[in-house]
Amino acid sequence: MSEKRRKKSGGLRPFVYCVLSFFLAVILFLLSICVSLRVTFFSEDYMLQTMAEYEYYSQLTEEFRKQMVSLSHASGLTDDFTNDFVATLDFRQDVTEYVDAFYSGESTVIKTTAFKQQFRSALDKYVEKNKKAGTEVSESALEYLVNEAADIYSNTIEIPFFSVGANFIYKYNTTLNVVMIVLAVAGVVLGLIMFLTNEFRHRGYRYLSYAFSAAFICTMVPPVLVLCTGVIEKINITTRSLYNLFTHYFGGIFTYFIIFGVVYLVAGVLMFVMFANKHKKLLRGN
């Protein structure tokens, strides 16, 4: 009777450890997602670094200049006026303030008061300099031009759906940190259980290699699918600056998935090598 129980126990034990390996793989996969989001999507530094690295500000300035040239032509202003005025703008500062408001949970409404004052001052100087005898420009016309320019400026800086993402990030920022800690602790505890409760240590290495290998496969699936389908490049975005920002921003997120995948692969191979060495030593001892 005791021998039958041992056989049943011996047959059930590998199944239990395979299930534990599966759960550990899921935990590692979820942890890689959380950490990747933590250092990218939930990080203001990552957003600003991506903008600076891929010349987002210069592209933004050029797009704004082109729209202002069209407005200037319709209003009777020269290209020189537009080019000189755009050269005085600092998109980096205003975009940084916009992004900072996004990650701090504040209002993402772009403030154009300073821009209006700066543009009105440049406009008054231009009108005064080019004023002809008997020619007057109405106040309403100037105000209309200032407001139109401010709308173009605001629309150029604004990132679609940014305000929705701001609320999400601000609301779940702390929750993500807690989830990361829980997953990390659960992963360590589960790994120790698998390793320490095995009568033979080499089997612990084997089941850990299963877990890391499965985690590698799961983690590599999202970036491989994205790269193979080219879904990011196919996104229809009207402006070049937003398109480049979008593709590089999300490309960076999937880069972290690949990094985690490589780490899991190396760990899985290492665990399997340890298992093979321990198993050989055990056979030699017998």
Structural domain boundaries in the chain = 2-43+173-285, 49-157
Question: Which tokens in the block code for residue 190?
Answer: 């589960």
**pLDDT value at residue 67:** 92
| Torsion sign over Cα 207, 211, 217, 220 | negative
- SS3 category, 232: coil
pLDDT of residue 166: 65
Q: What is the pLDDT of residue 62?
A: 93
CB 196 within 8 A of CB 204: yes
Rounded distance, CA 75 to CA 66, Å? 14
The dihedral over CA atoms of 273, 275, 280, 284, expressed in degrees to the nearest 10, equals 140
Residue 210 and residue 206: Cα distance in Å, rounded?
6
- Cβ atoms within 10 Å, residue 276: 14
Give the residues of the chain that fall short of pLDDT 70: 1-11, 132-137, 161-167, 199-202, 279, 282-286
Tell which residue, 253, 212, 187, has the closest CA to residue 35: 253
Can you give the pLDDT at residue 7? 46
Distance between CA atoms of residues 152 and 25, nearest Å: 49
Amino acid at 51: M
Query: Would the CA dihedral through 172, 178, 182, 184 be positive or negative?
Result: positive
pLDDT of residue 1: 44
In the prediction, which pLDDT does 187 show? Answer: 94
Tell me the per-residue pLDDT of 35-59, one tens digit each, with 9 for 90 and over.
Answer: 999 999 888 899 999 999 988 999 9
Q: Is 237 in a helix, a strand, or coil?
A: coil
